[in-house]
Every structure is written in structure tokens, then in C-alpha cells.
Structure 1
């Protein structure tokens, strides 16, 4: 059938081993299943699906840290690897920011040109 289609449409026909075709198809299907499962769509398209404790924990940790922050957590190596994999699979839910920008919501005291450094020292605390 594919060979006939190729000849009718003036295309080159490449014969693919059925085993190779099966392996590629199954690999892509498995990747799709993993992505759907990690995004909360495991065999349930409705909003009434209750997440497993593991899924809930992964989502919570992913929303509060970065891949680099996982290394700082006091967790077993296997669990850190799973969390990193989860974060990489769910890049859309990841907060991508560097440590330089993590304190961007802190309020900083603005010095007026008229303020002397000594008056600032009383109200500012350097840690």
C-alpha cells in the first residue's frame, strides 16, 4: 500500500522493517504516556481526578523550587533524580529563574541624595 502510494505520487519508497517501525511507534507512545501522566492526564480527561500523593508532592515541590534547588534538598539521590526528571518533563510549570532574581520581590530601602550614610546605618541592617 505504501509502495503504491509512493509510486502514484512520484515519491521514493523506503522500506522500513516492521520491528523498527514497531519500536519507534512504541517509544513515541510511551513518551506521550509519560508526558500525559506527569501533567495529570493519566487515563482521565475529567477535572475530578484525584492526584496520587507522589504526583501531588512532585507538583508542589516543582512549583516552589528549581532544578538547581533540588540538589540542596535533604533527599535521597534517587528521589532527587525523579524530581529533576519531573521538572524537566514539566518545563511549562517550572519557575525558571536564577538565584540572582530570587529576591526581586523584597522591598529595598531607597536612599535619597539628602540622606547621609550615618542616618541610613540606624535603619538598615546588613546580614
Structure 2
């Protein structure tokens, strides 16, 4: 599966429950970028906040998303609004995955340094 590219706009909530409050959206592109057996995607995304004190601000994230590894880590390479000149990391662990629908709930932890 080398090359398929997907565009996404997914809600980000305070908790893993689908009914949890939406605080942001993850907008981005993923593309299968590995010819090796351990499938991996490259992720380019913005975490666009639409609630609270960071409303209107966004974090820009870039990184590798290896399918079969439990722990994933992506770099924060910038941002806008309150996150101007941001740097940091986003770690991701799959909380649940539905094989039939291919939907997943991902637990993101964000560590960001900004001015």
C-alpha cells in the first residue's frame, strides 16, 4: 500500500468518549510513505483550536505515523495565533480501533513551548 493519500478533518475532544466536548479539529493529509513491511504514513496536520483561551490558534505538526507501533511521536514545527513560533511534540497512542469501519480513537498528548 505505497502511495495512497488521504485528507482528514477530525474532531479533537477533551476525552476519548465520542460525546466529549470538541475543543479542536485535526486538519491534514496522510500518505503511505513506506515500502517496507512495517507500514508507515507521513502526517502533515494542523490542530486548529476553536474553544477556550486558544480559540483561533493552531499547532502545525509533521511526522511519521507507523501503523504497527503502539507509540507514535510527531514534531510540532510551528503554529499560529497564541502558538506563534511553537516547538514541541505530539505523542499518539491508539485508544480504540474498529476494523470494520477503520475508524480509530487516538489519545494525543501535546507538549508545546510557545511565546
- Which has the larger Rg? 1
Give the structure with the higher percent strand. Answer: 2
TM-score, normalisation: structure 1: 0.17
Give the structure with the higher percent helix. Answer: 1
Higher relative contact order (CA 8 A, sep 6+): 1
TM-score, normalisation: structure 2: 0.18
